[in-house]
């Protein structure tokens, strides 16, 4: 699993505070030494729209399609994902679940290699990527660029960092949460405190 923050709204906490203070016409109370202190209060009262003015974009790679299938259910995320139509999976890599016992990892790898051969067999017989992929496993690795505003990231982290969430999406979301908490602690601090 690899999670990289590739873009974030500059001065994100200041922009959110400007937006909120526009609502209350309290811009005169905005002072650099207290920058961001208003934001947890907005969260506590459910005034969440100001958090939509800040965005973050991540590159997520070396993760399974089982994981990304769950992430893309969050329809407010903007997603661009490696295509299995335009890109051949002839040499696909895979994610091995941690529940595969160390002594049976070779067996799991062998199963994946059998599937690789099946994919190649269908490709060699003239089938397009878009149909040969029907034999591919959920374990197949993929990569995506995913963007969202801070309000949506908070929502995604709340449900996907939970200990009952599936382990891989949880690991990915915990990594994104840790990074965004470094960048905007007044926005993500409460969720990071709960889950990190
Ligand atoms: C632990 C866990 C287990 C899950 N298990 C399954 C599963 O077994 N099967 C499965 O299919 N999915 C499952 N899901 C996916 C889940 O049902 C949602 O599709 C997913 O979490 C995205 O929901 P969302 O609210 O973030 O996003 P979106 O669906 O993108 O919606 C965004 C927000 O818009 C609002 N909204 C959207 N549509 C409506 C609507 N029609 N009416 C009213 N308000 C709306 C809601 O406030 C929502 O939060 C699971 C999710 C989690 C976290």
Instruction: Give CB contacts under 8 A, 24+ apart, made by 34-42.
Output: 36/184, 36/185, 36/186, 36/187, 37/186, 39/13, 39/186, 39/187, 40/186, 40/189, 40/190, 42/16
What domain range includes position 29? 2-80+141-195
Verify that 154 and 65 share a domain, yes or no: yes
Nearest to 12 by CA among 181, 156, 193: 181
Give catalytic status of residue 160 as yes or no: yes
Angle at which helices 167-183 and 185-195 cross, to 10°: 140
CB of 78 closer than 6 angstroms to any ligand 1 atom? no
* Phi–psi pair at 87, nearest 5 degrees: -120, 130
pLDDT value of residue 195: 94
My answer on whether 145 and 129 are in the same domain is no
pLDDT at 120: 98
Nearest residue (CA) to ligand 1, atom 50:
70
Please report, rounded to a whole number, the percentage of residues in the chain having pLDDT higher than 90.
99
> Is position 86 within any domain?
no
pLDDT band at 45; cut points 50, 70, 90: very high
Residue at 180 is within a domain: yes
Confirm or reject: Cβ of 165 under 6 Å from ligand 1: yes
For residue 59, give the nearest of 79, 41, 45, 39 by alpha carbon: 79
- pLDDT-based confidence at residue 90 (cuts at 50, 70, 90): very high
Number of domains, the chain? 2
What are 96-136's pLDDT values in tens digits? 999 999 999 999 999 999 999 999 999 999 999 999 999 99
Task: Kindly give the distance from the C-alpha atom of residue 72 to the centroid of ligand 1, in angstroms, as a whole number.
Answer: 10
Instruction: Indicate if ligand 1 lies below 6 Å from the C-beta of 193.
Output: no
Q: Which of ligand 1's atoms lies nearest the C-alpha of 75?
A: 30
Secondary structure E strands in the chain:
2-8, 55-64, 78-81, 141-149
d(CA 133, CA 137): 9
Our answer on whether the CB atom of 23 is closer than 6 Å to any ligand 1 atom is no
Q: Provide the 8-state DSSP code for 87.
A: S
Q: How many residues does the chain have?
A: 196
35 lines ligand 1 (CB under 6 A): no
Are 54 and 7 contained in the same domain? yes
Q: How far is the CA of 73 from the centre of ligand 1 (A)?
A: 7
Considering only CA atoms, which residue is closest to atom 16 of ligand 1?
73
For the domain that residue 35 is a member of, what is the CATH number? 3.30.1360.170
């Amino acid at each position: 699993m690899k999670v990289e923050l590739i873009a974030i709204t500059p001065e994100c906490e200041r922009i959110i505070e400007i937006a909120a203070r526009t609502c209350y016409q309290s811009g005169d109370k905005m002072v650099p030494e207290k920058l961001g202190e208003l934001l947890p209060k907005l969260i506590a009262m459910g005034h969440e729209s100001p958090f939509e003015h800040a965005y973050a974009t991540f590159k997520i790679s070396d993760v399974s399609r089982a994981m990304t299938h769950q992430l893309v259910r969050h329809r407010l995320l903007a997603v661009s994902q490696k295509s299995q139509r335009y890109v051949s999976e002839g040499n696909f890599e895979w994610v091995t679940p941690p529940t595969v016992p160390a002594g049976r990892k070779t067996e799991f790898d062998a199963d994946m290699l059998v599937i690789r051969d099946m994919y190649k067999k269908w490709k060699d017989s003239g089938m397009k990527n878009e149909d040969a992929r029907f034999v591919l496993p959920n374990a197949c690795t993929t990569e995506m660029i995913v963007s969202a505003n801070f309000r949506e990231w908070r929502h995604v982290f709340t449900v996907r960092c939970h200990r009952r969430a599936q382990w891989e999406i949880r690991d990915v979301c915990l990594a994104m949460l840790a990074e965004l908490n470094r960048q905007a602690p007044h926005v993500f601090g409460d969720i990071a405190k709960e889950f990190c």
